[in-house]
Amino acid sequence: MADRDMGPRPMKTCMPIGVFDSGIGGLSVLRALQHELPHERFVYLADNAHAPYGEKSENFIRQRSHAITEHLLARHHIKALVVACNTATAVAIHELRTQHPALPLVGVEPALKPALALSQTRHIGVMATRGTVASDKFARLLGSVQNEAHFAVQACNGLALAIEQSTLPDQAEVAQEQITQLLKTYTQAMGHFGSAPDDIDTLVLGCTHYVFVENTLRQLLGPKVQLVSTGEPVARQTRRLLAAAGLLSQGPIAPAQSIRLLTTGDLRGLRAAAKRWLELPPDVCQSVPASLQA
């Protein structure tokens, strides 16, 4: 890596912001980033070949997070990085910060504190991947708030994968049925939702994929339950970090240059998700090798 031999490349305002997730879930964060920072360029990497992360080992997720960060720095010259994945944030962000002290870095974590501010019944549901729920970082976060409300925490095995599959035309129908079934099972396991005393009135979406099944959740839980996600606060934090580092982009950029989406997996799925959720044309999407070497 020639860049590494020559020392870190100086950051410039015109460089893009890197964003990554195990798959398409982080597009929910990218949507908020684009809204908050319309003059920035973004390079998004979906590690679809290795999704879901939530049911992989911590070691594996750390290795992928390091490889993706190196790739985005060396090949795309990013000026900042948003880890748009709760699972990767939970297990890898500390090491990423240590390895890249000069890189502005933002992670996502389940929004327990914002949920506390919203809940009237003090009964809060939390959906996240098994990896996030099992992590030390999540245990510390939960420990910091659990005297203030009752938290029903649910690891949602299989849900992120079904959401990934729902973007593939030949698997969409089966995946949608599976999503509905999984959501029923997991929400029932957390308890009764509603606004009566002891009902869960607030549900934290602690995985960036789950934002894309909000409509199904609303149908199951009714309109009054509050769904809390993290895209917007993460976008605001990204703006603050860039401003503090003097790295905010100076002016408008052509829409054609504003966004690139990369996948280590099936290009069809990323293209379908980009169209459905960000109204982006297929030519902004491209494949990269799963090894990220070439």
- Is 25 among the residues that bind ligand DGL (CB under 6 A)? yes
What are the catalytic residues? 85, 207
Residue 231 lies near ligand DGL (rule: CB under 6 A): no
What number of chain residues touch ligand DGL (CB under 6 A)?
A: 17
Q: Which two tokens stand for residue 72?
A: 């985005």
- 293: tokens are 């070497």
The interface region with ligand DGL, picked from 11-19, 21-29, 245-253, 279-287 by CB under 6 A, is 21-29
Does residue 21 belong to the site contacting ligand DGL (CB under 6 A)? yes
Of the residues 42, 44, 53, 138, which one makes contact with ligand DGL according to CB under 6 A? 53
Q: Nearest to residue 69, comparing CAs of 41, 24, 105, 34? A: 105
Rounded to a whole number of angstroms, the minimum distance from the CB of residue 27 to ligand DGL is: 10
Phi, psi values for residue 193, rounded to 5°: -100, 140
Q: How far is the C-alpha of 50 from the C-alpha of 154, rounded, in Å?
A: 23
- Contact code string over 113-132 relative to ligand DGL, x by CB under 6 A: ----------------x--x
Q: Long-range pairs for 188-196 at CB < 8 Å and ≥24 separation?
A: 189/154, 190/125, 190/127, 190/152, 190/154, 191/123, 191/125, 191/152, 193/125, 193/221, 193/222, 193/225, 194/222, 194/224, 194/225, 195/120, 195/121, 195/224, 196/121
Assess 68 for contact with ligand DGL (CB under 6 A): no
Residue (of 160, 252, 168, 248) closest to 209 by Cα position: 160
Instruction: For the CB of residue 77, give the shortest distance to ligand DGL in the complex, in Å.
Output: 25
* Segment lying near ligand DGL (by CB under 6 A), choices 33-41, 96-104, 170-178, 206-214: 206-214
| CB of 184 vs ligand DGL, minimal distance in Å | 20
Residues that bind ligand DGL (CB under 6 A): 21-23, 25, 51-54, 85-87, 129, 132, 160, 207-209
